[in-house]
Structure 1
Amino acid sequence: MSSPAGAGKTSLSRRLVADYADMVLSISATTRPPRPGEEEGREYYFKTRPEFDAMVAADELFEWAEVNGNCYGTPKAPVLAAMEAGKDVLFDIDWQGAQQVAAKAPSDSVRVFVLPPAWSDLSRRLHARAQDSEEVIVQRLALGQREIAHWSEYDYVIVNKDFDRAYADLIHIYRSERMKPGRNPWLPAFVQGLAEE
């Protein structure tokens, strides 16, 4: 899932993970400092720039990008472990990361873009959070303009005018994509069993 900051992507993704036991949220590594209330390994793995660069050099990241002077990336090991355990992995990432994931796993990825109902809502939400300075909010809004330009590269677009409606739309996307034959490796044996009864 991708969106400009403040559109509700994180709230939607965290609720989906909480409601579906077969879904896990990928935790990104970042070089940005923690915000108040954030914990190591819950919101992010907080890394120094040299630590992050070492992860890139060792090919330990599934995807990564530099945004507003900070690096963000998805460590491979937890994603692969979750997939091997039969879990679906939800990425809360920007358009650059979504492009990289889709290129590496085209048949296994589903991209969802979350839009706000109006641009003014983003500014209001970012100010209401009171987590960032005015300078950072201005940067995040400018980044959001660049992010929105990539909406058409996604498989689905949700306009988050009403959270419950947007969440219902997200559930429909997840459940319908989960039911595709190629995403259910147990299905051929099941069908064969039906045919042999």
Structure 2
Amino acid sequence: MKHRIGILAFGSLIDNPGEEIKELEIERINCTTPFKIEFSRISSSRDKAPTLIPVKENSKGKKTNATVIVIDEHIKLEKAKSILWRRECHKTARNEKFVERKNPTSKNVLVLELENFCDVEKVIYTSFLQQDEYQNLTPEKLADYAIESILSKAGVEKKDGIRYLQSIKKYGIITENSQEYERQILLKTNTESLEDAIEKLDKQNIINSKNGGIRKKI
């Protein structure tokens, strides 16, 4: 194998790997995910923005563009897992470590491994168990959640679902739902592009904040 450890990125990790991963990154390898991914998770940390996660082979989803972030050869696998876990959990204390749970729930970040992938001996990535409360996420439902997220704190912090979709689209990441999901956002916001939708909803956020945080219809 050419490299020893890498991190598979197929979502916001591509654009925003976090300081710890940035410090250790030595190379990037373009690839295709070895499994299907889809907008099958509603993220509480992004105010209900839909995010991408690996899904089962018999589920709706698609293998799509991704990136392996190769990190410093001297980093041990367990430390790499903790670094990735901290980034996913938005933890800044570098002494906090990833611990594999025997009985994880859908709220727990899983750190899984691929063997000998893209000339890298060990490639790690994050995953989650299915959320029982968010089954059958249609493109229309995804659009509703994305709009809700941008009109919340996540929109102010630029961590909302529409910006997330815009980011992954930039890297040619297309899932079974993504194109119709985008179309539904444009229909619901009466706009012609994600950029227009973001601009319009950001303005609505400002209006809402001036009205004491009371949300008005788009």
TM over 0.5: no
Q: Using structure 2 for the length normalisation, give the TM-score.
A: 0.28
Higher relative helix content: 1
TM-score (normalizing by structure 1): 0.30
